[in-house]
Amino acid sequence: MDKKVISTNRKAFHDYLIFEKYDAGIVLTGTEIKSIRKGTFNLKDSFAKIEDGEVFLYNMHISPYEHGNRFNHEPERVRKLLLKKQEIVKMLGKIKKENYTIVPLELYLSHGFAKIEIGLAKGKKLYDKREAIAKKTQERDIARNSRR
């Protein structure tokens, strides 16, 4: 698959346990896609909600395009995500039953279109975060020692 990853939301992997992943298209304006191709956007504090059978992405900041003049976009507008109805129904059931959150994991270009990978996630507790940091540190030390 022709997939060029532009940005990964590392904070999501640190703060959440990811259970399922879905790929979704994003409804964008012309200046938004130009800004995304330049890499001037931020996924850090964004999240998605299901409203009336549709999925919307909140708090994703896309900087205004510098040559966009009066047709430029609002940086933090709510953007619609494009998913199949079956996927939305499945996600909605899990959100209600198991209290999951929808977080964006990475933004990429596929055949010229911007796509976003979203995940069903549950927030990590403080001890889970500490455990993950300790595990990463151990793996890093082992890798460092094996190179010598």
Encode pLDDT of 41-75 as tens digits. 888 888 899 999 899 999 988 888 777 777 777 77
Kindly tell me if the per-residue pLDDT of 97 is higher than 70.
yes
What number is the average pLDDT over the span 132-141?
88
The answer to whether residues 108 and 96 touch, using CB atoms and an 8 Å cutoff, is no
What number is the average pLDDT over the span 72-81?
83
Average pLDDT value over all residues in the chain: 86
SS3 for 47?
Answer: strand
Tell which residue, 68, 13, 7, has the closest CA to residue 43.
7
Looking at this protein, which amino acid is placed at residue 12? A
pLDDT of residue 1: 59
Give per-residue pLDDT as tens, 9-35: 888 888 888 899 999 999 988 888 888
C-alpha–C-alpha distance, residues 74 and 36, integer Å = 14
Kindly tell me if the per-residue pLDDT of 85 is higher than 80.
yes
C-alpha–C-alpha distance, residues 63 and 92, integer Å = 31
pTM above the 0.85 mark? no
The answer to whether residues 5 and 106 touch, using CB atoms and an 8 Å cutoff, is yes
CATH 3.40.50.720 is the classification of domain 3-147: no
